[in-house]
Amino acid sequence: MVYIKHILLIVIFSLFSCGNNTSMVEPGKPVEKLRESMGADRVEVLFFHNHERCSSCLNMEKYTKEVVDTYFGKQVKDGTLALLIIDIEDKKNAAIIDDYQVVWTSLYINKWENGTESRHSMTEYAFLNVDSSPDEFKEGIRRQIEELL
């Protein structure tokens, strides 16, 4: 009986982890290497997190993914939008962590045009709305992405 439960849990985990993955960060691959391989003109949604996360941080990632999946699947496929989930405790991400000077959960939606990055921190907005007004949080993220695309 315990064996069957383990198999069932593995199957369920696999279905959720393999389905509709909008994040382009690959385990073991530094984010900077991935960013170098992207097109010059794009919008990036960068969600920085540490290992220990509160419910607000977990919701921020969940809702951000939901917005990207729901409204921007085509742009993810064609490379004009990328969602990068970045573990700030992973040493392979040191270059981007230093560049952004992040020390805790942070959310950015950035525009790259002709090789030049325009950064838009959504961190304060996110923490103000993610738990108290999740629909407003999602709408603000959607609007910012649309504006930059």
Give 14-69 pLDDT, tens digit per residue. 333 333 444 555 555 666 656 665 667 899 999 999 888 899 999 999 999 999 99
The CB-side HSE value for 38 (13 A sphere, CA atoms) comes to 29
Is residue 81 helix, strand or coil? Answer: strand
H-type alpha helices, the chain: 2-18, 31-36, 55-71, 73-78, 94-100, 123-129, 134-148
On whether the pTM is more than 0.85, the answer is: no
Phi and psi (nearest 5°) for 131?
-95, -40
Return d(Cα 107, Cα 38) in angstroms, integer: 20
